[in-house]
């Protein structure tokens, strides 16, 4: 599948920050499930590309003059391949065992460990699919119940959250099993008429010996298909967030995100998220 993507993030400030620094992880990874045909990241100020410890492509965007408005635009085309969610492990970089590390967001507590124990299966792959279905059933999609720092344990208690919360809970259960798991940020092309907004998406990958990294999306109760585009991987949201930054001055802030994803073989579809 060939996908054309346009992702605009706009910050507007009541005042005028004299300095702002943004870390932008909006460049698709090049791997066995996708090929980047063209891509560019545009923003005012200085853009410095680099690669982080997870192998993610990052741009640092620095503005050191007064500004009321900061637009960051990422756009290009990506070719994706149907692998039924399997991404073979490639030697080099961080070993799978590195993703046995819990973070404050993915630390399993007694409740998470109990959920993991109830959904465990003798066959790991079957257990991972059962975990995906279980979280999909237990955690209703509700964007008003959580925030970026919500933990997996809190999500389980609330029984509500968004894709990143469901991914964190999936990872926490894997860690309770002793299975390496990581957070993935990216895009998902939603079928026409689905009714959901198109925006950045998040899911998880678990390491299965003999297969490699296998994706699981509790939000949609499925593994990744060719409709998914991978941007960044990390231990949790904090390391894979599309845009994170800080500024000096500027007063109150308003952020708008607009995403357009087009299957090159079909009419354009898109959506916005605040």
Q: Are strands 140-141 and 160-161 parallel, antiparallel or unpaired?
A: parallel
Q: In which residue are the tokens 């993935």 written?
A: 184
Looking at residue 272, what is its pLDDT?
A: 45
The secondary structure element, H or E, covering residue 271 is strand 269-273
Strands 200-208 and 243-248: unpaired
pLDDT at 273: 43
**CA–CA separation, 159 and 149 (whole Å):** 16
What whole-number distance in Å separates Cα of residue 206 and Cα of residue 172? 11
What average pLDDT values come out for the chain (274 residues) when binned by 10 residues?
A: 95 90 96 96 96 97 91 97 93 92 97 97 96 97 89 97 96 98 95 61 97 96 96 97 90 90 74 42
Which pLDDT does position 66 carry in this prediction? 87
- Residues 32, 238: Cα–Cα separation, whole Å: 25
The answer to whether the beta carbons of residues 125 and 106 sit under 8 Å apart is no
Is residue 54 a contact partner of residue 238, using CB atoms and an 8 Å limit? no
Q: Edge-to-edge strands of the sheet including 212-216?
A: 86-87, 212-216, 200-208, 181-188, 228-234
3-state secondary structure of 267: coil
Q: How much is the pTM?
A: 0.93
Q: Who's near 94: CB < 8 A, 6+ residues apart?
A: 53, 54, 55
Residues 102 and 176 sit within 8 Å (Cβ to Cβ): no
Helix crossing, 124-138 with 163-177: angle to 10°? Answer: 140
Position of tokens 């308003």? 254
Give the helix/strand (H/E) hosting 41.
strand 34-42
pLDDT in the model for residue 127:
97
How far is the C-alpha of 85 from the C-alpha of 51, rounded, in Å?
24
Which whole-number Å values give the CA distances from 84 to 8, 65, 181, 182, 213, in the listed order? 29, 48, 17, 18, 11
Nearest by Cα to 156 from 113, 126, 121: 113
């Amino acid at each position: 599948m060939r996908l054309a993507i346009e992702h605009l993030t706009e910050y507007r400030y009541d005042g005028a920050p004299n300095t702002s620094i943004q870390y932008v992880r909006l460049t698709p990874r090049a791997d066995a499930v996708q090929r980047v045909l063209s891509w560019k990241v545009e923003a005012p100020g200085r853009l410095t590309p680099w690669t982080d410890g997870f192998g993610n492509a990052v741009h640092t965007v620095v503005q050191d003059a007064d500004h009321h408005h900061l637009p960051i635009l990422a756009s290009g085309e990506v070719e994706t391949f149907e692998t039924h969610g399997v991404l073979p492990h490639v030697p080099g970089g961080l070993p799978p065992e590195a993703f046995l590390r819990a973070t404050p967001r993915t630390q399993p507590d007694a409740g998470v460990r109990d959920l993991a124990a109830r959904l465990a299966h003798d066959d790991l792959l079957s257990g991972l699919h059962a975990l995906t279905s279980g979280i999909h059933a237990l955690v209703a999609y509700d964007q008003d119940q959580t925030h970026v720092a919500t933990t997996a344990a809190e999500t389980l208690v609330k029984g509500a959250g968004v894709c990143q919360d469901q991914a964190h809970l999936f990872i926490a259960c894997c860690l309770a099993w002793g299975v390496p798991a990581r957070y993935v940020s990216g895009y998902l092309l939603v079928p026409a008429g689905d009714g959901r907004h198109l925006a950045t998406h998040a899911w998880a990958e678990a390491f299965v010996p003999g297969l490699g990294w296998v994706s699981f999306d509790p939000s949609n109760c499925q593994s990744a298909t060719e409709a998914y585009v991978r941007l960044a991987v990390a231990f949790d949201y904090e390391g894979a967030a599309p845009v994170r930054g800080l500024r000096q001055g500027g007063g109150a802030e308003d952020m708008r995100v607009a995403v357009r994803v087009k299957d090159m073989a079909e009419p354009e579809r898109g959506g916005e998220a605040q």
